[in-house]
Amino acid sequence: MKIGFLVIDMQAIHLQGIDKQNVNRACEYINYVSDMIRSKDHIVIHIQDIEGITESNRDEYNTIPDIHIKDKDLIVSKEYSNSFWKTDLEQILVKQGIEFIIIAGNAAEHCVLFTYNGANERGYNAVILQNGILSKHDDVITSTYRDRNIISYPVVKYLIRK
């Protein structure tokens, strides 16, 4: 089973107003799982929301340096909350043979949730990385974990060994 790890909207402009300690914690989990995924030749895909980008604010749309992007990682730009909508994400997943998707990033109540739903609507098995999502509202994270399929990093480690 080929796994795709989607890291959504970990960009400075979208992380404004989120407690830095929460961002640091999510980055730690995201980087740890990314390294595991890469080590077994699974795919890490960084999703970048570029809605509103201009020449003068382009740097704010870069993925924050706390998130490690490697040469073989893929990057998909989007302008809508669902990372599948009007992007080539689905074609990339098909081309890579990905069947199982792990989702992490920002914002739990918007882009993470809409991408999770989009993946399920397209027949993918999708889960959200425990401790790997962010929101300006802590209660949203709690309800996301309560109402969606989640996965912890030890389970990811187990899955990639199979």
Position 138 scores a pLDDT of 83
Name the pLDDT band for 97 (thresholds 50, 70, 90). Answer: very high
Instruction: Show me where the domains of the chain are located.
Output: 2-161
Q: Is the pTM of this model over 0.85?
A: yes
Q: Say how far apart CA 138 and CA 92 lie, in whole Å.
A: 32
- The answer, yes or no, to whether residue 135 has pLDDT greater than 90, is yes
Position 27 scores a pLDDT of 98
- The answer, yes or no, to whether residue 81 has pLDDT greater than 90, is yes
pLDDT in tens, 9-59: 999 999 999 999 999 999 999 999 999 999 999 999 999 999 999 999 999
Within 8 A by CB and 6+ apart from 29, the residues are 104, 129, 130, 131, 132, 153
CATH code for the part of the protein at 2-161: 3.40.50.850
Name the pLDDT band for 113 (thresholds 50, 70, 90). Answer: very high
Position 90 scores a pLDDT of 98
Residue 60 vs residues 12, 56, 80, 88, 109: alpha-carbon distances, Å = 5, 9, 18, 23, 21
Q: Say how far apart CA 75 and CA 67 lie, in whole Å.
A: 13
Q: Is 49 exposed, middle or buried (0-12, 13-18, 19+ CB in 10 A)?
A: buried
Q: Is the distance from CB of 59 to CB of 22 less than 8 angstroms?
A: no
Q: Say how far apart CA 39 and CA 34 lie, in whole Å.
A: 8
**Token pair 């998707």 is at which residue?**
101
Mean pLDDT, residues 89-109 taken together: 97
C-alpha Rg value of the chain to the nearest Å: 14
Percent of the chain with pLDDT over 90: 95
User: Which amino acid belongs to residue 71?
Assistant: D
Q: Is the distance from CB of 93 to CB of 123 less than 8 angstroms?
A: no
Name the pLDDT band for 162 (thresholds 50, 70, 90). Answer: low
User: Structure tokens of 112?
Assistant: 């993470």
Q: Is 162 exposed, middle or buried (0-12, 13-18, 19+ CB in 10 A)?
A: exposed
Q: Say how far apart CA 83 and CA 162 lie, in whole Å.
A: 28
Position 36 scores a pLDDT of 97
